[in-house]
Structure 1
Amino acid sequence: MTAATDSTLFPPVPDSADAVLEGLDPEQREVATSLHGPVCVLAGAGTGKTRAITHRIAYGVRAGVLPPAGVLAVTFTSRAAGEMRGRLRQLGASGVQARTFHAAALRQLQFFWPRAVGGELPRLLERKVQLVAEAAARCRLRLDRNELRDMTGEIEWSKVTQTVPDDYPAAVAKAGRDAPRDPAEISKVFAAYEQLKRDNSVIDFEDVLLLTVGVLQDRPDIAETVRGQYQHFVVDEYQDVSPLQQRLLELWDGGRESLCVVGDASQTIYSFTGATPDHLLNFRTRHPDATVIKLVRDYRSTPQVVGLANGLLSQARGRAAEHRLELVSQREAGPAPVYTEYADEPTEAEGVAKRARELIDAGRPASEIAVLYRINAQSEIYEQALVDAGVPYQLRGAERFFERAEIREAGVALRGAARFGENDSLLDGAADLPSQVRAVLSGKGWTPEPPAGSGAVRDRWESLAALVRLAEALAEGRAAAGGAPPTLAEFVAELDERANAQHAPTVEGVTLASLHSAKGLEWDAVFLVGLTEGMLPITYAKTDEQVEEERRLLYVGVTRAREHLSLSWSLSRSPGGRPNRRPSRFLDGLRPGSGSPAARTAGGAGGIQRGGRGDFGAGGQGGASGPRARKQRGPAQCRVCGRSLTDPGELKLSRCEGCPSDLDEVLYERLRDWRADQARQLGQPAYCVFTDKTLLAIAEAVPDDAGALARIPGVGRRKLDRYGGDVLALCAGEELGAEEPEDASGPGGPVESGEVAGSPAEDS
């Protein structure tokens, strides 16, 4: 998923400063050797920016120009900082600090707080939602989960833009920002939240930056101490800095201009958090003597993918668009991007799952495939479609790798084996590191061959297999470098360092992720789904600036693909719905048939495929026609208030989330217990039997025959055949016998590679 795979994480350490420069292209070499004065690197997607700046730091250190302890490299995620530290270590530049803005600031704040303020630093509040809810209650406001999230986002935006509660209404008006509630109400909640923090002696994430800025501004002696330690600064993803982070950077630097920044204005997608590309775009104005270097050689994507990315930005407007970089692919030609139109969302999900299955069967690792969407709520239908197609998946942003129970258990076992060494009976006959790791993990569920299916047992195996592959990569890297074979203790130390940086090894499974969370990652094959007006650009993108950020978001999605790129949309949300959607405006002039010559050349695109149900292109049924087309019906409506439904969860319930529920709670609990038992015996996650929303729909409808049960979204033919008897018996209040569920390879189990099973909306 990243530019450096696990098999290439351990190359030989260069034996000299000049050796650090080997393998760099002319522009990357210019970055690496520009060690004095302010430097601005404008780096397009896939152009090797991390490679360039890590080699710059390493070359400076190895050449004796940059003292390792005097360099601070800052970025935006713990994972990126961990990867940077790993690369620097392999380049022989250990001792350089690579941290996130918040981690660097917190470290300084903890050290200087007793001297600047006295006493201990207040406790850091990890999650602010609960305190925001309490603040809202003090203001006599009751907020649901979504409103709380929005309110929290507004408070965070205010703080990173250095806006105090009283100034919030004016600031939001000046920024042209759409407040989720009356700005005066948000201002009151914001003020109450700040007071609650003081009452509870806690600080939040944004306070870490604010307080560090305050200390450095008010205490020149402390500021000079920090500047005495750090003389050189490198900032990655500079287009994403907020005004508060920029102020902190200025205080760190102290006007010395020993600064190197790297960014791409065309990848600015976090303005809702306060990020702005203005600092990147104005860098030359603030630093007239700056060296500006452009990286445009794209080593990631094929000419077809790069052509589409360039075509997408060629239609952009605004200041960021004026500074766009025209990428030049350095790879061999690949397949043209595929555009597919589907009748409805379940059909789209099935088509994507089928194509992913085909790629895997053709030898493409599941971990090299991603399905990217605009909002997280779109994931559920793709989760179910992949499960039904027998395709393993992982949710980006779900439980962290090193926090999984099996990984924690494996870490304990590996640490124990490393401690006891030759006295551990598990290691008998296991001479090299990979053999030792396999031996230890065999007691935790790892086997040479993966288990059948794609449930919890397979998920556990995939996690352990990722550790085995990492051990193999470490051993191969040491051998290639001519070094001593790694020990089990060294492997455990590597795992500890990765856990601290949240730098997880690769897990086999198709990645499901939002476009925002996909930034910084890459895959061989990428499916961009749900590309319709109202979703991309999202409905609430009203201003030209907001719409352009949505375009940049799509650009980020396109540039995640190395070789295979599929773009798709559906004409209606639900089966039989009115086909009144239209493809995203961003595809106009790019997709074939959209009326522009660019559509015939951008990315070498071929024609638009019409994805019938279960069919991914290649002349399948077009739209809603063909022998398997559904009977057209009007849009689904709430059975309580009559409003038209569009949300997938509401479609399953046949009512609005906020409308009164006639839930049979006793039945719902019985259904949950039954589902848990089925999932446990099958070794699969509970949602593979029925999702929570489907169980709620059943417990609300209480169907009394197979026909009524089949009409509930999420209960199609296959699941009706498999589970219908049990569910109807539970609805009738009957007790179930102790029959075993059917084997996972039977009806409803993993499907053959040429079959596409059902989706959460309908399994027919």
Structure 2
Amino acid sequence: MIDLDLLDDDQRVAATAPRGPVCILAGAGTGKTRTITYRIAHLIDQGHTSPNRVLAVTFTSRAAGEMRDRLRTMGIGGVQARTFHAAALRQLRYFWPQVAGDLPWRLLDNKFPLVARAAHSAGLSSNKETVRDLLGEIEWAKATLITPETYADKVDDYHRTPPVEAKKVGEVFRMYEDAKTSSEGMLLDFDDLLLHVAGALENAPAVAEEFRSQYRTFLVDEYQDVTPLQQRVLEAWLGERDDLTVVGDANQTIYSFTGATPNYLLNFSRTYPNATVVKLQRDYRSTPEITHLANTVIGQAKGRVAGTRLELQGMREHGPQPTFNAYDDEPTEAREVAGKILSLLNEGVPAREIAVLYRINAQSAAFEQALADAGILYQVRGGEGFFKRPEIREAINSLISVARRTDPGESPVAVARAAFAPLGLTPTEPQGAQARERWQTLGALVDLIEQIERSGEASTLNDVLASLQRRAESKQPPSVDGVTLASLHAAKGLEWDAVFLVGLVENTLPISHAVKAGDEQIEEERRLFYVGVTRARIHLHLSWALARQEGGNKSRKRSRFLDGIAPELEVEKSPERLKRAKSCRVCGFPLDTPAEKSLGRHEDCELGYNEDVFFALKQWRLSESKQFGQPAFMVFTDATLMSIAEAMPRNATELLDISGIGPAKVDNYGEGVLEVLNRFR
């Protein structure tokens, strides 16, 4: 017998609901996996089904494995818990001879070459980004049950912007499908697995009878992200039966670009009028402070999905309030986040329980650099580190080629923009998703080069290349015990004790192409923000930068999703302030006289540190950087040296209390810093 007392009241209602259609609306952190496994166990325990007649479908292999492990812990084995594609592959291998006889087939594990050839035949570019965009569009069309013949007519109905002319996409789609069939047999991609399984069950009565006699009970997790193709397979599995349990949260629908739609979840009680519908709203993951913010974020949602939102109830003990911070620029934001992470590490929060989440992968560069400078181990989830990305390696190689020729005679930034133009850095943001990501990443590299040039670290192209090489080599290797860097999409389904949501500015969140697309896409961006908020258990820090580069024009606006949530911050009240190079380094306001500009501050603005100490620390830093052949900022930034001069720490422990200084920095440079400070005591 299973112990139902381990469930809360709502979970128990869901787990013990009568055999038949059940819809569980489960908010973030409300124990949906526990509820699903207990429902399966209860149905088996009551004799309504047997383990080998249950098929549970999840969206990731990790979730399927977790479900199987939990069931085994409860003494239940034999339940099939798989992803849609894994289940379809297993079924197709079994039923193929009954459907296609001796016709051979094999799984196509790399679609890229076929799509590239089709693109070339259609007169389109076959570069990586174009092909990947076409491949993504074909996958979306198949998931949405759109054929090559109907693509051009249907794409407008979905308010979708194709990467190239719609007719050309349809042409490439058709040639791709044709190329998979030859005299040697058939190649099937992952979407074909679902199409053929659905077709077999719909059109071969013997296959349908055998399958439906085997599987009687079905459960589908993350039902808000089901595509029309997956729903077609599910309906083929069920036939006329209704022994179905679905679990989902429309507020976490963030994959519409792949064809996913929450409509099947929203319409469940209409499809099955006798369905049991249960809401899980007790959040066991996050503190009440975080759930309150999450409820406020999603409470501003518009449209049909908003009408089904769940009101999370934080069940953990109270914790710290979420913090909101605006910074002058992205490098400052990254350094401050690194400093806060050091504080959490010193408080005993494990590095693996800390995450920095951003909207696009191109945002990771500044945070990778800041964490490396602070001696903090990190791992990039769902993508490669900035300098390991193919487009970055290609771009740097193009700069190396330019540098081998005669001196270009222009600033490194201008050279980089010209060199990257053929690689995809167009004057305006492109349409395709892959081209857009490449454009953003190349733009981030140009910004980094501009930062290097402005700081005085390098003035020639060769110097810039050397600086980029040093930065690439300084990165800490990925570690399972490191801080996680991830995009918001990659963070779905995960959770950490501490989460930093960064880069919360307009045209990044919501992303610029969503702003252009209109309300529906903006609302999906809001849900993505909500997903980010609900990843945090205890600590949640939200931040944004008013300028991209140090000294840049502070013209950025905070994300609209913060309206009515985050207070107006002091740094935001004067966006018209002059660039930092012409501003007082104490108060931040403009400098008027040449003398003030030379001094770097107003005469009546007193520094919080001894300038002689600061100068001595800079001299020591210069000596260290020359000795080890690395730029000065990689020893300590000016901001960190100012903090040291102000705090005047007496030992390694007090050094660790300073933002931007971690154990690695203390080990490498602590003795030298303290020796300099002792001269002024």
- TM more than 0.5: yes
Is residue 113–residue 121 contact of structure 1 (8 Å, CA) maintained in 2?
no
Provide the rounded CA distance (Å) in 1 between the counterparts of 2:316 and 2:487: 27
Matched, 1:218 2:124: no
Whichever structure has more helix as a proportion of its residues is: 2
Structure 1 residue corresponding to 2:557, chosen from 578, 582, 588 = 582
Aligned residue for 2:367? 382
Matched, 1:181 2:164: yes
5+ residue gaps, structure 1, are 1-15, 401-453, 463-506, 594-607, 612-620, 633-715, 726-750, 759-764
The Cα shift of 1:753 comes to 6.2
* SS across alignment from 2:150: helix
Provide the rounded CA distance (Å) in 2 between the counterparts of 1:458 and 1:388: 9
CA separation of 1:70 and 1:349: change in aligned 2, threshold 3 A:
same
Provide the rounded CA distance (Å) in 2 between the counterparts of 1:550 and 1:355: 27
Aligned residue for 1:110? 93
Provide the rounded CA distance (Å) in 2 between the counterparts of 1:391 and 1:178: 41
Matched, 1:626 2:532: no
* SS across alignment from 1:22: helix
The Cα shift of 1:148 comes to 2.4
Structure 1 residue corresponding to 2:494, chosen from 507, 517, 521 = 521
Aligned residue for 1:530? 503
* SS across alignment from 2:180: helix
Matched, 1:324 2:309: yes
Is residue 294–residue 530 contact of structure 2 (8 Å, CA) maintained in 1?
yes
Is residue 339–residue 609 contact of structure 1 (8 Å, CA) maintained in 2?
no
Provide the rounded CA distance (Å) in 2 between the counterparts of 1:381 and 1:46: 30
Provide the rounded CA distance (Å) in 1 between the counterparts of 2:193 and 2:509: 34
Deviations 1:162-221, CA, capped at 9 Å, x for gaps: 111121111110111122221111111111211222248321111111111111111011
Is residue 576–residue 630 contact of structure 1 (8 Å, CA) maintained in 2?
no
Deviations 1:587-618, CA, capped at 9 Å, x for gaps: 0011113xxxxxxxxxxxxxx4759xxxxxxx
The Cα shift of 1:721 comes to 6.6
- Look up the equivalent residue of 1:252 and give its one-letter code: W
Deviations 1:324-358, CA, capped at 9 Å, x for gaps: 11111111111111111111111111111111111
Structure 2 residue corresponding to 1:555, chosen from 530, 534, 540 = 530
Kindly tell me the number of residue pairs found equivalent between the two proteins.
512
Equivalent residues in 2 for 1:15-414, closer than 5 Å: 16-17=1-2, 19=3, 21-119=4-102, 121-199=104-182, 201-398=186-383
Structure 1 residue corresponding to 2:629, chosen from 709, 712, 723 = 723
Provide the rounded CA distance (Å) in 2 between the counterparts of 1:185 and 1:299: 50
Provide the rounded CA distance (Å) in 1 between the counterparts of 2:310 and 2:281: 7
Out of 123-132 and 297-306, give the one that drifted further.
Answer: 123-132
The Cα shift of 1:630 comes to 12
- Look up the equivalent residue of 2:354 and give its one-letter code: I
The Cα shift of 1:22 comes to 2.7
Deviations 1:64-98, CA, capped at 9 Å, x for gaps: 32200000000111111111111111111111110
CA separation of 1:24 and 1:145: change in aligned 2, threshold 3 A:
same
The Cα shift of 1:723 comes to 2.6
The Cα shift of 1:625 comes to 5.9
Deviations 1:126-185, CA, capped at 9 Å, x for gaps: 232232222111112114333222221111000001111121111110111122221111
Is residue 114–residue 121 contact of structure 1 (8 Å, CA) maintained in 2?
no
Is residue 335–residue 370 contact of structure 2 (8 Å, CA) maintained in 1?
yes
Provide the rounded CA distance (Å) in 1 between the counterparts of 2:625 and 2:163: 41
- Look up the equivalent residue of 2:502 and give its one-letter code: V
CA separation of 1:376 and 1:342: change in aligned 2, threshold 3 A:
same
Deviations 1:568-593, CA, capped at 9 Å, x for gaps: 11111122221111000010011113
Aligned residue for 2:540? 565
Deviations 1:51-73, CA, capped at 9 Å, x for gaps: 10111111222333220000000
The Cα shift of 1:458 comes to 8.3
TM-score, with length taken from structure 2? 0.71
Out of 549-558 and 193-202, give the one that drifted further.
Answer: 193-202
Provide the rounded CA distance (Å) in 1 between the counterparts of 2:312 and 2:563: 21
Provide the rounded CA distance (Å) in 1 between the counterparts of 2:65 and 2:474: 29
The Cα shift of 1:113 comes to 0.6
- Look up the equivalent residue of 1:549 and give its one-letter code: E
Provide the rounded CA distance (Å) in 1 between the counterparts of 2:627 and 2:590: 23
* SS across alignment from 2:543: strand
Question: Please, what is the CA RMSD of the aligned residues?
Answer: 2.8
- Look up the equivalent residue of 1:223 and give its one-letter code: A
- Look up the equivalent residue of 2:492 and give its one-letter code: K
Matched, 1:756 2:666: no
CA separation of 1:719 and 1:288: change in aligned 2, threshold 3 A:
farther
Equivalent residues in 2 for 1:599-638, closer than 5 Å: 608=569, 626-627=585-586
The Cα shift of 1:724 comes to 5.5
Aligned residue for 1:510? 483
CA separation of 1:631 and 1:511: change in aligned 2, threshold 3 A:
farther
* SS across alignment from 2:325: strand
TM-score, with length taken from structure 1? 0.64
Is residue 342–residue 659 contact of structure 2 (8 Å, CA) maintained in 1?
no
Deviations 1:27-68, CA, capped at 9 Å, x for gaps: 001111114110000111111111101111112223332200
The Cα shift of 1:377 comes to 1.6
- Look up the equivalent residue of 1:626 and give its one-letter code: R
Provide the rounded CA distance (Å) in 2 between the counterparts of 1:757 and 1:312: 34
CA separation of 1:344 and 1:291: change in aligned 2, threshold 3 A:
same
* SS across alignment from 2:212: helix
Is residue 338–residue 609 contact of structure 1 (8 Å, CA) maintained in 2?
no
Deviations 1:471-502, CA, capped at 9 Å, x for gaps: xxxxxxxxxxxxxxxxxxxxxxxxxxxxxxxx
Aligned residue for 2:421? none
* SS across alignment from 2:123: coil
Regions of 4+ moved over 4 Å: 454-460, 608-611, 628-632, 716-721
Aligned residue for 2:405? none
Deviations 1:413-432, CA, capped at 9 Å, x for gaps: xxxxxxxxxxxxxxxxxxxx
State the identity %: 54
* SS across alignment from 1:754: coil
CA separation of 1:44 and 1:717: change in aligned 2, threshold 3 A:
farther
Provide the rounded CA distance (Å) in 2 between the counterparts of 1:149 and 1:113: 30
- Look up the equivalent residue of 2:224 and give its one-letter code: Q
Aligned residue for 2:433? none
Is residue 220–residue 246 contact of structure 2 (8 Å, CA) maintained in 1?
yes
Provide the rounded CA distance (Å) in 1 between the counterparts of 2:657 and 2:100: 65
* SS across alignment from 1:306: helix
Is residue 343–residue 624 contact of structure 1 (8 Å, CA) maintained in 2?
no
The Cα shift of 1:121 comes to 5.0
The Cα shift of 1:119 comes to 2.7
Provide the rounded CA distance (Å) in 2 between the counterparts of 1:545 and 1:214: 32
Is residue 19–residue 43 contact of structure 2 (8 Å, CA) maintained in 1?
no
- Look up the equivalent residue of 1:569 and give its one-letter code: W
- Look up the equivalent residue of 2:660 and give its one-letter code: V
